[in-house]
Chains A and B, each alone.
Chain A
Amino acid sequence: MYDLAIIGGGPAGYSAAFEAAAKNMSAILFEKSDLGGTCLNRGCVPTKYLSHIARKFSDLSDSGKDGIFFDALRYDHERSKKRMEEIVLSLREGLKDSLLHDKVKVVSKEAKIVSEGVISCNGEKYQAKNILIATGSEAAPSPVRNAHISDELLLINKIPEKLHVIGGGTIAVEFSSIFRMLGSEVTLSIRGDRILRKWDRDISISLTQSLKKKGIVINRNCDFSSFKKNESEYLLSATGRRAYLPDSEGGLFEVGEKGGIITDGIGRTKTPGIFAAGDVREDSPDLAHLAMEQGRRVVRLIAGEEVKENTSVIRCIYTDQETASAGLAEAEAEERGIPFVSAKQTMYSNARTMISSDQRGFIKVLAGADRRIIGAHLYCEHAGEIISEFALAMDQGITADEMIRTVRPHPSYSEAVTEALRILVRKLDEV
């Protein structure tokens, strides 16, 4: 009898396994395909590698202004794809070794929940005191016919001449930006009138502008019922993700409208001893770092620890210049009737930004009436790194006045954080 049986070896599953090992619990993990899940094999890691090289290629194409010249610059997708596979493989091997080292038993087959505390896999039955469902998600069905999904786009050997992306979320925007920088002609078609609708408005407008400047054509208010595929285009559907449920005896957990497993904030399903974490949850924001934390929280709960339900959710978009967001957007704060003050600092006067790029950018910060930080929206170099100091402030209830006391290095992108806070404090003093 295991203390914990985990179905799915993605970020939610393997993080739970490591946490269980650290707490001296016996754990078994079932993975029907590749360890690392969507994130490592078909998601975060390969796409961020591609966005890294797309940026590199675009920077080199534009390096004349810095006095760097080439006789010929060429991009070979087959070569970079090989490198991408090497990176994924090495991380996967590392993950496998760590699980082995932590004495987590890994079974490489599809698992099924037979009843409370019982899992069957490959003809065998396994007993466990607790079961964690971490089976992740798959691409949502496409609104148009004959479209590819992102898993397939990551397998192609040659950059398509023309790429048509359906969808206006993070994945759609990232792929559009990456493939445009690598040389494709890109069209992005969305149902609504703006990309990244769930994001801060300044960010959504800024990214729209930056995509258009790159030469990406954005079709808004599209009606996909009459959509006709153009044969000369590679058609990618990126309209979100859908929970992937394990085969299971009926009635053990409830499934919500979006098809995910309904849980409480920590991950309890309606059956004691059965939990869910990651993309498979109905309330999942489809983020790997959240999936990991949810997996760990379930283990802490099983270990009898007190579990804090809420930490701030950080979202990032890895276009050439990064975007990152945590906490409330202005529109959200307004809707919820939360009084706030917001301040925005642009990067035009930031020395480090001027040295490294000439892109427009900003840092926007929101504070509540008690001067505590309640939101941050960044569109600048390394936004995905800088955002963590805001998340820390939000999780610890730090005020704008406390944050501003830290002296940030010069020249750094973070100096703009100080500048934004300076404006914020001035505005807070005015109200």
Chain B
Amino acid sequence: MAERLFSKHHIWVLKEGDTGILGITDHAQEKLKSIMFVNLPDTGDMISDGKRFGDIESIKTVSDLIAPVSGEVTEVNEELIDSPELLNDAPYDNWLIKVKNISSLEDLMDEETYLKSKDDP
């Protein structure tokens, strides 16, 4: 099983073949506090590395979701639209989207590096 990789925008990626599964990190959900709503792209949409692909509304704020890779959205976790709080409960079990033909993961960090870097400004 591949290792979970992390972006500086607090997104995790799990690679399965040429498909990437994307979610938000535990650190992100903790900072956001109560998550109220998630806006995600549609299947068939293209996302691109470094660009916004949706947002998360929490009681506190709206946070843009920044794509850690480029590729085509093949699946959207519809369950989150009805129960966004799942992201607070278990951010690593509840993915956001699946993306195929993903671009390189080279710039992403392993968990240890991410945990060290996450509090940097």
Write the chain A residue with the least CB distance to B59: A348
Q: Does A396 contact B (CB under 8 A)?
A: no
Q: Contacts A205-B81, A209-B81; is A349 near B59 (CB within 8 Å)?
A: yes
Q: Does B26 contact A (CB under 8 A)?
A: no
A346 touches B81 (CB 8 A): no
CB distance from A412 to the nearest CB of B (A): 20
Interface residues of B in 24-48 (CB under 8 A from A): 36-37, 39, 42
CB distance from A351 to the nearest CB of B (A): 14
CA distance A205 to B55 in the complex (A): 13
Q: How large is the interface on B (under 10, 10 to 19, 20 to 34, 35 or more residues)?
A: 10 to 19
Q: Does A202 contact B (CB under 8 A)?
A: yes
CB contacts (< 8 Å) of B60 on chain A: these are 349
CB contacts (< 8 Å) of A164 on chain B: these are none
CA distance A423 to B62 in the complex (A): 10
CB distance from A355 to the nearest CB of B (A): 16
B36 is contacted by which of A194, A212, A345, A360 (Cβ under 8 Å)?
A: A360
Write the chain A residue with the least CB distance to B52: A342
A202 touches B36 (CB 8 A): no
A344 touches B81 (CB 8 A): no
B62 touches A344 (CB 8 A): yes
A-B contacts, CB under 8 A, total: 31
CB contacts (< 8 Å) of A344 on chain B: these are 55, 57, 62
B57 is contacted by which of A194, A201, A362, A423 (Cβ under 8 Å)?
A: A362
Q: How large is the interface on A (under 10, 10 to 19, 20 to 34, 35 or more residues)?
A: 10 to 19
CB contacts (< 8 Å) of A348 on chain B: these are 36, 57, 59
A345 touches B62 (CB 8 A): yes
CB contacts (< 8 Å) of B55 on chain A: these are 344
Interface residues of A in 347-377 (CB under 8 A from B): 348-349, 360, 362
CA distance A148 to B93 in the complex (A): 47
Which B residues contact A (CB, under 8 angstroms)? 36-37, 39, 42, 55, 57, 59-62, 81-82
Closest 3 CB pairs of A and B: A344-B62, A346-B57, A348-B59
Which A residues contact B (CB, under 8 angstroms)? 193-194, 201-202, 205-206, 209, 212, 344-346, 348-349, 360, 362, 423
A-B contact pairs, 27 of them (CB 8 A): A193-B42, A194-B42, A202-B39, A205-B39, A205-B81, A206-B37, A209-B37, A209-B81, A209-B82, A212-B82, A344-B55, A344-B57, A345-B62, A346-B36, A346-B37, A346-B57, A346-B61, A348-B36, A348-B57, A348-B59, A349-B59, A349-B60, A360-B36, A360-B37, A362-B57, A362-B62, A423-B62
